[in-house]
Amino acid sequence: MAETMAHAVAHHAPPQGFIRKYVFSIDHKVIGIQYTTLSLVAAFVGMALSWAMRIHLAWPDMRLPILGWLSPNGAPGGLMTPEYYLSLMTMHGTIMAFFVLTAAPFAGFGNFMLPIQVGAADMAFPRLNMASFWVTFTGFLLACATFFIPDGPPLSGWTAYAPLSAVGSVAGPGQGWGQNLWGLSIALFCVASLLGSLNFIVTVLDLRTKGLKMSRLPLSTWAWFIDAWVSLLAFAVLLPTCLLLVLDRLGGTSFFIPGGLVFNDQLQPHSGGSPLLFQHLFWFFGHPEVYIIILPAFGLVSHIMPTFIGKPLVGGWKVITFSEIAVGTLSFVVWGHHMFVSGMSPYMAMVFSVPTLFITIPSVIAVLVWVFSLYGANIRFDTPMLYSLGFISLFITGGIGGFFLAQPSTDSYLHATSFVVGHFHFTMGLSAIFATFAGFYYWFPKMFGRMMNEKLGKLHFWLSFIGVYCVFITMQLTGMSGAVRRYSALVDDFMVPLIPAYRFMTIAALLLGAAQFIFLYNVIWSRFKGPKAPDNPWGATTLEWDTTSPPPFDNFGGRQLVVHHGPMEYDGDESLMQTSPEPSIAGT
Amino acid sequence: MNPTELVVNEKLASIEPERKEHGIVMELSPYGVDKKKLGMWMFIVSDACTFAAFLFAYGYMRIGAPVWGTPFGPSSIANGVLMTAILLSSSLTMLAAVRASQADDRSSAKKWLGVTMLLGVIFAALHLREWFKLIGEGWRLFYNPTGGAAQFGATFFSVTGLHLTHVVTGVIALAFVVRGYSQRRYDQSHVETAGLYWHFVDLVWMFVFPLMYLMNAH
């Protein structure tokens, strides 16, 4: 009887055979792990690129034979040309921003956890979900393929600013087929992102189990839900931007290329286009994009913290969720702050500066919620909690730099310096990475049924935390003293005194990278040799902990779940599972 | 549960007595919308942003151009009006198909879906005729034979091309719906979801036609 029951409730029959089970799987859990693995691979690729750049910046004469092998033209004899430096920078940004930061905390964890957290058997559209992963994967392959074509990777930055990105191979190495592949790769990523976010929204709205009202959603689900909206709207604008760029490159149009433009002594056969139009379109996507990256991080940390502090967040689910909604909404009206020095009207700069300062208000509210929640709490310092605290620290440090960059007057000085690079590595890059690590250590037992090693986890945390500050605080300081970003060498006299700082950053970055191998070792070792994980190792309250580790194919083995309250309910010191009936003392 | 919540939940409960997803009882859906339809709405929201970006680029180019060609004479406008009438009628026939499928009148629903597809094909044919006429006059993505801004061809062909792609995709999608509906794999909700898409493509034309045709008439 129980068996027929389980069969009747299965969303779709469990797949048979290796291919359907692990490769072209429609199971959201497998897709979540596929996304996470893809991001992990992408993160190590991106990190290797940053090492090559940092080594070149600190010791410009050092030869890296592997680069010479990878690109005989870009790095003859292993010594990179300034153009190849830009190529590495472009691909570092592209891979990290899209395939790591956008993919891991949203598509990776979201796919695995969101259906379980709402008590569903799968996403609303499992086949679209599978398509979404494989389109992303193809996009990643195309991005990586640029390293192996004769042209090499593009050098126009992850922002692909026109007209450099629009005129074709005359603009330099990588601007022929490299840039074409880049455009195709990102266009595919946009399509995959649409499929993913559409799925997330419908799953949250339509597939919640009995009693799971919106007000009772776990905070991670809330963040993914809001994030899916932002990504649904923002990537829909990046897609036409890529298409118009490709039209300029291959169709001979002049959307982004002005008249009278000379590249390499050749007058370009274009007229009437506007590089500013490209920047408007790109940043209309690009600014929400940084919130697409950081909102899941907000959610992960808000989801993880209550378990380890043993009490609800200050302000309950409402304050944090409404600040996320405010951040998501405002993110669509601040894009011009990336363009203060682009030649846009200074009056427009004023217009964009004001909402940019406004967006700090909900961000600060969120930070205060996390910090105040720690007050008087009996904190358990397990690795997920350490990473959550690390996230808060990095986000505050990075956010402070934002005040200076939000104002046109100070931004004019800082914009082209490495201050900006340090700023965004703190606020969106490493903050999101730290939240992702928090999520990884927190959910690993659920995803793979094994515990990770806590000692190695803590070692990994402290080395990463100190390493990040050594690299990026120094980067902001050199930026304040005028170090120009995007340069492959310290060209000017005034930059020469910065050489020791550059070498310090490079050594710190190499050590920071080396520390990530502790994580990799921990993941692989724990995956096979870690102690078996119980169903609810952290004493958490949400539905993903109300099933086995790892969950069965239909997530709950055909059980009918009824949710009685929100995720942050405590009966004294005891946390209450969302499915456990209301205690007499707790509220709704 | 507070009183307002109770009222809202009762109201929803009257629409859908018990929502089940594969045997599991689910929380009431906030707007009583089925997941396919909701998914289509989300796609429409996203796709609207994509069209908006194209039209924004068009506006930006047009305002920035010192001289903007206006190539459309009375015959082109007449052709455009005819296309508009056909696409609008196809929305009506789509509506008839949805109504028929809701009344479980399968043969009538299939008939109306067929008419909708036919109107879509006629629209595409008229549209291509217009394109070939312009190409014959020397218009290109990158060339303006009247000497005005080269961006006319770029914006006209890309915006209407995107819309035409949507129409053609819609016709193909309707063919799949008709097939699944005939084989009784699909029900009225599939017809309705396809209808949503069709109406959206129609609505987009209501922006494209005045912006790309009427504003470019001489």
Give the tens place of pLDDT for each residue, A295-305. Answer: 999 999 999 99
Could you tell me the pTM of the whole model? Answer: 0.94
As a whole number of angstroms, the distance between CA A394 and CA A371 comes to 13
Q: Do A241 and B49 touch (CB under 8 A)?
A: no
Residue A169 DSSP label: G
Q: Is the CB of residue A166 less than 8 Å away from at least one CB of chain B?
A: no
Partners of A235 on chain B (C-beta within 8 Å) are 46
Q: Are B34 and B186 in contact (CB under 8 A)?
A: no
pLDDT value, residue B6 = 53
Amino acid at A273: G
As a whole number of angstroms, the distance between CA A60 and CA A18 comes to 48
Distance of residue A467 Cα from the nearest chain B Cα, in angstroms: 40
Instruction: Reply yes or no on whether the pLDDT at A458 is more than 90.
Output: yes
Cis amide bond preceding A550, omega within 30: yes
Poorest-confidence range of A156-170, A344-358, A485-499, B41-55?
Answer: A485-499
Q: Do B158 and A239 touch (CB under 8 A)?
A: no
Residues belonging to chain B with any Cβ–Cβ distance to chain A shorter than 8 Å: 21-27, 29-31, 33-35, 38-39, 42-43, 45-50, 52-54, 56-57, 60-61, 64-65, 140-142, 149-151, 153-154, 158
Residue of B31, B39, B54 lying closest to A198 (CB–CB)? B39
Q: Do B151 and A253 touch (CB under 8 A)?
A: yes
Residue of B24, B29, B149 lying closest to A560 (CB–CB)? B24
In percent, the amount of chain A with pLDDT more than 90 equals: 87
Question: Helix, strand, or coil here: A63?
Answer: coil
Alpha-carbon distances of B22 from A120, A299, A418, A547, rounded to whole Å: 10, 29, 54, 18
Q: Are A182 and A160 in contact (CB under 8 A)?
A: yes
Which two three-digit tokens encode residue A174? 């990588």
Q: Which residue's structure tokens are 């004479």?
A: B73
Q: Is the CB of residue A106 less than 8 Å away from at least one CB of chain B?
A: no
Which of A298, A306, A321 has the alpha carbon at shortest distance from A436?
Answer: A298
Q: Which residue's structure tokens are 């609303």?
A: A124
pLDDT value, residue B146 = 87
A177 in a domain, yes or no?
yes
Partners of A255 on chain B (C-beta within 8 Å) are 57, 61, 151, 154
Closest Cα in chain A to B2: A588
Average pLDDT, chain B: 90
As a whole number of angstroms, the distance between CA A500 and CA A519 comes to 29
As a whole number of angstroms, the distance between CA B36 and CA B192 comes to 10
Instruction: Reply yes or no on whether the pLDDT at A251 is more than 70.
Output: yes
Partners of B61 on chain A (C-beta within 8 Å) are 255, 272-274, 277
As a whole number of angstroms, the distance between CA A427 and CA A291 comes to 10
Partners of A561 on chain B (C-beta within 8 Å) are 24
Please report, for the domain that includes residue B62, its CATH number.
1.20.120.80
Residue of B22, B30, B50 lying closest to A121 (CB–CB)? B22
Partners of A253 on chain B (C-beta within 8 Å) are 141-142, 150-151, 153-154, 158
CB environment A530-553: b (16+ within 10 A), e (fewer): beebeebbbebbbbbbbbebbbeb
Closest Cα in chain B to A230: B46
Give the bridge partners for A210, in sequence order.
A562
Alpha-carbon distances of A269 from A122, A167, A259, A460, B66, rounded to whole Å: 53, 9, 8, 54, 18
Q: Are residues B19 and B83 in the same domain?
A: no
As a whole number of angstroms, the distance between CA B1 and CA A432 comes to 37
Q: Give residue-wise pLDDT tens across range A320-333.
A: 999 999 999 999 99
Alpha carbons within 13 A on the beta-carbon side of A184: 16
As a whole number of angstroms, the distance between CA B43 and CA A239 comes to 14
A15 in a domain, yes or no?
no
pLDDT value, residue A586 = 45
The full DSSP string for A305-356 is: HHHHHTSPPTTHHHHHHHHHHHHHHHGGG-GGGG-TTTT--HHHHHHHHHHH
As a whole number of angstroms, the distance between CA A240 and CA A255 comes to 12
Question: Residue B165: which domain range?
Answer: 34-216
A10 in a domain, yes or no?
no
Please give the average per-residue pLDDT across A288-293, as a whole number: 96
Partners of B139 on chain A (C-beta within 8 Å) are none
**Which bin fits A376, alpha (ψ -120 to 50), beta or left (φ > 0)?**
left
Q: Do A255 and B49 touch (CB under 8 A)?
A: no
Q: Give residue-wise pLDDT tens across range A95-124.
A: 999 999 999 999 999 999 999 999 999 999
Instruction: Reply yes or no on whether the pLDDT at A196 is more than 50.
Output: yes
Q: Give residue-wise pLDDT tens across range A131-142.
A: 999 999 999 999
pLDDT value, residue A582 = 65
A462 in a domain, yes or no?
yes
A261 in a domain, yes or no?
no
Q: Are residues B130 and B23 in the same domain?
A: no
Greater confidence (B157 vs A495) lies with B157
A314 in a domain, yes or no?
yes
Alpha-carbon distances of A322 from A96, A393, A448, A583, B181, rounded to whole Å: 28, 22, 33, 27, 43
Of the residues A1, A4, A200, A206, the best mutation for testing chain B's interface (the one with the most B CB atoms within 10 Å of its CB) is: A206
A502 in a domain, yes or no?
yes
Confidence of residue A4 (pLDDT cuts 50, 70, 90): very low
pLDDT value, residue A13 = 67
Q: Give residue-wise pLDDT tens across range A41-70.
A: 999 999 999 999 999 999 999 999 999 999
Instruction: Reply yes or no on whether the pLDDT at A443 is more than 60.
Output: yes
Residues in chain A: 588
Partners of B40 on chain A (C-beta within 8 Å) are none
Q: Which residue's structure tokens are 């035409």?
A: B164
Give the count of domains, chain B.
2
Confidence of residue B1 (pLDDT cuts 50, 70, 90): very low
pLDDT value, residue A7 = 38
Instruction: Reply yes or no on whether the pLDDT at B72 is more than 60.
Output: yes
Which of B128, B136, B130, B135 has the alpha carbon at shortest distance from B213?
Answer: B130
Alpha-carbon distances of A395 from A367, A390, A399, B123, rounded to whole Å: 8, 8, 6, 54
As a whole number of angstroms, the distance between CA B59 and CA B53 comes to 10
Which two three-digit tokens encode residue B205? 């034309």
Q: Are A563 and A119 in contact (CB under 8 A)?
A: yes
Of the residues B9, B12, B34, B35, the best mutation for testing chain A's interface (the one with the most A CB atoms within 10 Å of its CB) is: B35
Give the count of domains, chain A.
1
Instruction: Reply yes or no on whether the pLDDT at A574 is more than 90.
Output: no
pLDDT value, residue A575 = 84
Greater confidence (A210 vs A42) lies with A42
Q: Are residues B28 and B43 in the same domain?
A: no
Partners of A240 on chain B (C-beta within 8 Å) are 50, 53-54, 57
Average pLDDT, chain A: 93
Residue of A198, A247, A280 lying closest to B141 (CB–CB)? A247
Please give the average per-residue pLDDT across B111-126, as a whole number: 98
Residue of A207, A233, A273 lying closest to B49 (CB–CB)? A233
Distance of residue A269 Cα from the nearest chain B Cα, in angstroms: 10
Confidence of residue B10 (pLDDT cuts 50, 70, 90): low
Instruction: Reply yes or no on whether the pLDDT at A449 is more than 90.
Output: yes
As a whole number of angstroms, the distance between CA B129 and CA B124 comes to 9
What are the backbone angles phi and psi of residue B217, rounded to the nearest 5°?
-90, 140
Question: Residue A329: which domain range?
Answer: 34-253+271-575
Q: Which residue's structure tokens are 């894009």?
A: A335
pLDDT value, residue B148 = 85
Q: Is the CB of residue A510 less than 8 Å away from at least one CB of chain B?
A: no
Q: Are residues B73 and B172 in the same domain?
A: yes
Q: Are residues B22 and B97 in the same domain?
A: no
Which of A219, A187, A222, A184 has the alpha carbon at shortest distance from A205?
Answer: A222
Partners of B48 on chain A (C-beta within 8 Å) are 236
Instruction: Reply yes or no on whether the pLDDT at A438 is more than 80.
Output: yes
Residues in chain B: 218
Partners of A214 on chain B (C-beta within 8 Å) are 30
Please report, for the domain that includes residue A511, its CATH number.
1.20.210.10
pLDDT value, residue A1 = 31
As a whole number of angstroms, the distance between CA A54 and CA A502 comes to 8
Closest Cα in chain A to B34: A206
Please give the average per-residue pLDDT across A468-492, as a whole number: 92
Which of A261, A245, A264 has the alpha carbon at shortest distance from A253?
Answer: A245
A218 in a domain, yes or no?
yes
Residue of B25, B57, B158 lying closest to A560 (CB–CB)? B25
Confidence of residue A587 (pLDDT cuts 50, 70, 90): very low
Q: Which residue's structure tokens are 């080594």?
A: A55
Q: Are A432 and A293 in contact (CB under 8 A)?
A: yes
pLDDT value, residue A493 = 78
